[in-house]
Amino acid sequence: MTRLRQTEALLGSKVFQKVRDTPVLVVGAGGIGCELLKNLVLVGFSNIEIIDLDIIDLSNLNRQFLFRKPDISKSKAITAAAAARHFNPSSGIKIHPRHGNVKEGQNDIEWIKGFGLVMNALDNMDARRHVNKLCQAAGVPLIESGTAGYLGQVTPFWRDRTECFDCVTKPTPKTFPVCTIRATPSEPIHCIVWAKSYLFGKLFGEDDEALDTEELDKAQAAGENAEEIEQLKHEAAAFRQVRAQLGEEDGPKRVFEKVFHEDISKLLAMEDMWKVPGRVKPVPLGYDAIVLGDFVAPPLRSGPVAQTNGRPVPERNGESSTSALNANSKQLKDQRELTVKENLDMFIDSCRRLSARMISQPDIVLSFDKDDDDTLDFVLATANLRAIAYGIPTKTRFQVKEMAGNIIPAIATTNAIIAGLIVMQAINLLSSNIDKATNVFLRSDPAKPLGIYKLQPPNPACAVCRDIYVPFKVDVSKCTLGTFVDKVVKEWLPKGLGASNGNANGHAEEDEEINTEEVEWSVYESTRILADPDFNDNYEKTLEELEVVRGKMLTVRDEDDQFRAVHFCIVAPDPNATNTYTLPPSPPGIPRKPKKAIAPADDSDSSPPPQAMDAPAARRTGLTPSEAVSKKRAAGDDDDDGVVTVASDGQDSRKKRKVDAVVDMTGDDDDIELIE
């Protein structure tokens, strides 16, 4: 108890009592999460819930110090909770671990309302945005955090008092044009994206033939180029055929010949494609020639021929190609460049391993994971074989893992410092003195390692924290969409139209008369439109049939986009209720949207610290670079047309088939994605 007495003396008994009594949630039990949990326990937080979806991996042990070797494959949340208790055994703390995804339906607005404070220790944008939205909907303060190498950031967000995670547009993921990935790669990363996000998916990902065909038919009906569509259909059919034969003895050879010989030969036949200045023609790879050692690879497109890769090795200083190869083979396995034959062998072997997994576990859809050797080997081999065909330098296993996994070294000390800063901000928020809370940056300047930056007000144009949220207790198996539209949207909701409920920074024009009869509504679930004034096909369906279940939101927007969107957060029905749904006693005020986004005052105090987190680091942590925070928010930075609302759901609203590959630099696990 001595330790806690000291903490009490430091914090004062009032704040200390809050620390003891406030239920807090930690999301993520990884690098930051382990440090944070230990800190919370040491400070005396006594009512902690921790959630993580993952199990412990060998690679976590170097920094996630609550885990030991025997814990490998066990739940992170459960193991972390058990280990952290020992840091303060006598303090009567309760740690409730949950092994699961924070995005699961049961983790709804009512659940989040049960906490006085939420702390994110996550590694991806999607989950961060989800928790941000939940906290905004429930009005629960959130402390967001992230680290990238030696840099890190802690930012408190609190509805109506500060900006939220989505108030400032995040850096756009780097994208590559379709044709660069599919036909004209010129850098190793193009080949890696192709292998990881295109080829892997075609051979081992979800195979929805009906959906593919339907989409292509629709595109054709909509007047898209018939020849191109025909070609896409043909390509899809060809992939399906080699995929179906993958488990056979010469399955990998068939894939190789399709992908590295036939497809490249077809590309070469498209003469116009190669007329573009600077574009280098690929060379089809010959399976048998590689096996027999007769294959002569094309020269590298630029720079000295510094590596062998099965290519003829230039004689340098009397060193023969064989001795160069031998020197190469002495290097560490993962850091050695593979010859073309070795890449081929790895391709065959990884194809066999993955296809055996597909056959033995047909219900599990395979996806690339940098820590899954089978998937990494496949991406390594296919990316390198493609690089060889295009005269691009190949990469070692280590490099491919880094590039495909978008790895920035995780440093235990950075995580520890950031976790300490989270607790300091938590105490500031609990002491009800929001003015004390700040954004804190860990910088690379040893003379001034910490940067402090004051909290920003909400962005009036933000489509997450300026929207309205209503808990909707409903029996989804009984309530139809028609009932929701007629009773809730048309009857109940308009009563609040135009009124400021204090949530929208007073931008409502309260005095103006609104003819509620004239306002027309549409209903969405995320990006799916369920009903609009001319579309009532779903009225007879229950919410359950429409897959609008606990944890999801029914979003109501007016057709003229004049008012804030209202999100009905689906929660479990009231057990004593006789109706199929229960609404709050009165409808929320629904202010008008601001006509123009208002830039925050240019306050010299709020200018960014000279060396706050740089843009790449901010991308990795998923947090806002200080430059972006200080930047005046231009009208249209966030959407006035619903685009950001949609994207902020973590749902990708980008039009399909526009962009082929997206390298997402936000630290997501799924950092390179392909949009077909």
Q: List residues near Zn ion by CB under 5 A.
A: 164, 166-167, 462, 464-465
Residue count (the chain): 676
Find which of Zn ion, ligand ATP, none residue 164 binds, CB within 5 to 8 Å per kind. Answer: Zn ion
Find which of Zn ion, ligand ATP, none residue 462 binds, CB within 5 to 8 Å per kind. Answer: Zn ion
CB of 629 to Zn ion, least distance (A): 12
Burial readout 5-20 (b: 16 or more C-beta within 10 A, e: otherwise): eebbeebeeebbebbb
Site for ligand ATP in 62-91 (CB under 6 A): 76
Query: Which amino acid type is present at position 331?
Result: Q
Asked if 40 and 12 count as a contact pair (C-beta separation under 8 A), the reply is: no
Burial environment of residue 389 by CB neighbours within 10 A (0 to 12, 13 to 18, 19 or more): buried
Query: Which residue positions form the known binding site?
Result: 28-33, 52, 60-63, 76, 123-128, 164, 167, 462, 465
Identify which of residues 640 and 673 has a Cβ nearer to ligand ATP in the complex: 673
Find which of Zn ion, ligand ATP, none residue 465 binds, CB within 5 to 8 Å per kind. Answer: Zn ion
**Residue in the block written with tokens 């901000």:** 425
Q: Which stretch binds ligand ATP (CB under 6 A): 123-131, 394-402, 436-444, 540-548?
A: 123-131
CB of 63 to ligand ATP, least distance (A): 7
Find which of Zn ion, ligand ATP, none residue 416 binds, CB within 5 to 8 Å per kind. Answer: none
Number of neighbours of residue 582 by Cβ within 10 angstroms: 17
Cα separation, 632 vs 507, in Å, equals 19
Find which of Zn ion, ligand ATP, none residue 220 binds, CB within 5 to 8 Å per kind. Answer: none
Identify which of residues 4 and 618 has a Cβ nearer to ligand ATP in the complex: 618
CB of 432 to ligand ATP, least distance (A): 29
Sheet holding 468-474, edge to edge: 528-531, 521-525, 553-558, 566-571, 468-474, 581-582
Structure token digits, residue 549: 């279940």
**DSSP code string of 157-174:** E-TTTS--TTSSPPPPPE
Cα separation, 395 vs 383, in Å, equals 8
CB of 643 to ligand ATP, least distance (A): 23
Identify which of residues 74 and 301 has a Cβ nearer to ligand ATP in the complex: 74
Cα separation, 509 vs 515, in Å, equals 14
Identify which of residues 8 and 669 has a Cβ nearer to ligand ATP in the complex: 669
Q: Which of 49, 123, 163, 649 binds ligand ATP (CB under 6 A)?
A: 123
Based on the shown chain and the rule CB under 6 A, indicate whether residue 102 belongs to the binding site for ligand ATP. yes
Identify which of residues 27 and 663 has a Cβ nearer to ligand ATP in the complex: 27
CB of 647 to ligand ATP, least distance (A): 17
Q: Among candidates 64, 88, 93, which has minimal Cα distance to 76?
A: 64
Query: Which residue positions form the known binding site for ATP?
Result: 28-33, 52, 60-63, 76, 123-128
Residue 83 makes CB contacts below 8 A (sequence gap 6+) with 66, 67
Find which of Zn ion, ligand ATP, none residue 51 binds, CB within 5 to 8 Å per kind. Answer: ligand ATP
Based on the shown chain and the rule CB under 6 A, indicate whether residue 37 belongs to the binding site for ligand ATP. no
Residue 442 makes CB contacts below 8 A (sequence gap 6+) with 147, 150, 151, 152, 153, 414, 417, 418, 421, 449, 450, 451, 613
Find which of ligand ATP, Zn ion, none residue 53 binds, CB within 5 to 8 Å per kind. Answer: ligand ATP
CB of 118 to ligand ATP, least distance (A): 12
Kindly name the residue from 179, 191, 351, 569 that is annotated as catalytic: 179
Q: Among candidates 333, 413, 431, which has minimal Cα distance to 380?
A: 333
CB of 130 to ligand ATP, least distance (A): 7
Q: Which of 16, 18, 30, 259 binds ligand ATP (CB under 6 A)?
A: 30
Identify which of residues 71 and 337 has a Cβ nearer to ligand ATP in the complex: 71
Based on the shown chain and the rule CB under 6 A, indicate whether residue 591 belongs to the binding site for ligand ATP. no
What are the Cα distances from residue 78, in Å, to 71, 74, 665?
Answer: 10, 8, 30
Q: Do β-strands 581-582 and 521-525 pair in parallel, antiparallel, or remain unpaired? A: unpaired
Site for ligand ATP in 188-227 (CB under 6 A): none
Q: Which stretch binds ligand ATP (CB under 6 A): 28-36, 326-334, 548-556, 658-666?
A: 28-36
Residue 569 a catalytic site member: no
Cα separation, 249 vs 240, in Å, equals 17
Element (H, E) at 143: strand 142-148
**Phi/psi class of residue 56: alpha, beta or left (left: φ > 0; alpha: ψ in -120 to 50)?**
beta
Identify which of residues 56 and 543 has a Cβ nearer to ligand ATP in the complex: 56
For ligand ATP, the nearest residue by Cβ is 30
Q: Which of 119, 122, 181, 474 binds ligand ATP (CB under 6 A)?
A: 122
Find which of Zn ion, ligand ATP, none residue 156 binds, CB within 5 to 8 Å per kind. Answer: none
Identify which of residues 145 and 180 has a Cβ nearer to Zn ion in the complex: 145
Q: Among candidates 331, 344, 332, which has minimal Cα distance to 380?
A: 344
Phi, psi for residue 63 in degrees, rounded to 5? -135, -20
CB of 669 to ligand ATP, least distance (A): 6
In angstroms, how far is CA 406 from the centroid of its own chain?
13
**DSSP code string of 222-285:** TT--HHHHHHHHHHHHHHHHHHHTTTSTTHHHHHHIIIIIIHHHHHHH-GGGGGSTTPPPP---
Burial readout 413-443 (b: 16 or more C-beta within 10 A, e: otherwise): ebbbbbbebbbbbbbbbbbeeeeebbbbbbb
Question: How many residues sit close enough to ligand ATP to count as binding (CB under 6 A)?
Answer: 21
Based on the shown chain and the rule CB under 6 A, indicate whether residue 410 belongs to the binding site for ligand ATP. yes
Asked if 496 and 588 count as a contact pair (C-beta separation under 8 A), the reply is: yes
The 42-61 contact track toward ligand ATP, x by CB under 6 A, reads: ---------xxxx----xx-
Identify which of residues 221 and 601 has a Cβ nearer to Zn ion in the complex: 601
Cα separation, 64 vs 83, in Å, equals 11
Query: Which residue positions form the known binding site for Zn(2+)?
Result: 164, 167, 462, 465
Find which of Zn ion, ligand ATP, none residue 30 binds, CB within 5 to 8 Å per kind. Answer: ligand ATP
The catalytic residues are 179
The residues of the shown chain that bind ligand ATP, judged by CB under 6 A, are 27-31, 33, 51-54, 59-60, 76, 101-103, 122-124, 127, 410
